[in-house]
Amino acid sequence: MELVFDLVLIFTLRLLDVGMSTVRIVLLGKGRKGTATGLGFVEALIWVIAVARVLDGLDDPLRMIAFAGGFAAGTYFGALVEEWIAIGQAMVRVVAPVESNPVAPLLREKDFGATEINGSGLDGDVRITFCVIPRKRLGEVTHLIREANPAAYVTVDSTTSIDLHRRAERLVRR
């Protein structure tokens, strides 16, 4: 019974620490150094506990399998958590023929900022709409776009905004 407890514990600890690692890396990319640092501390502590449990029974291959399985599950779990918390903003780009239905009016009606520019595509003139949104609202925005123009080509990128005034003040103080 103790072995089963150890296997479940090792698996769970790895699931948690690798999941935290995924979220920590995203936080660092979004400039949230303090939160990422705290998460890194907890992550490392959990990892040490998991490794100690494996090393206690190094002759048991099931412990190693639990360790590796927890790592794999933690990778998936971390990706799910990151999707769920959806930190930051996304840049939505919509490209559609000029003669098709525009999406910007519907986005603006729902209080999303939308910027349009005209361009030339392979098959003629196109309208390109840019919209920066909270990532948590991506599903809502893509639904609106499909409602307005189902044939539109849509791309989404992660984006980071900067505060030019704060950045300039820091540079002046140096």
| Domain boundary residue, one of 85, 108, 127 | 85
CATH number for the domain spanning 121: value is 3.30.70.120
Pair 79, 9 in one domain: yes
The whole domain housing 33 covers: 2-85
| Domain boundary residue, one of 44, 65, 85 | 85
Could you read off the pLDDT of 78-131 as tens digits, one per residue?
999 988 888 888 999 999 999 999 999 999 999 999 999 999 988 899 999 999
134, part of any domain: yes
Q: Dihedral (C-alpha) 147, 150, 153, 156: value to the nearest 10 degrees?
A: 30
Q: How many domains is the chain built from?
A: 2
Res. 163: pLDDT tops 80: no
Could you read off the pLDDT of 4-18 as tens digits, one per residue?
999 999 999 999 999
Place 53 in a pLDDT band, splitting at 50, 70 and 90: very high
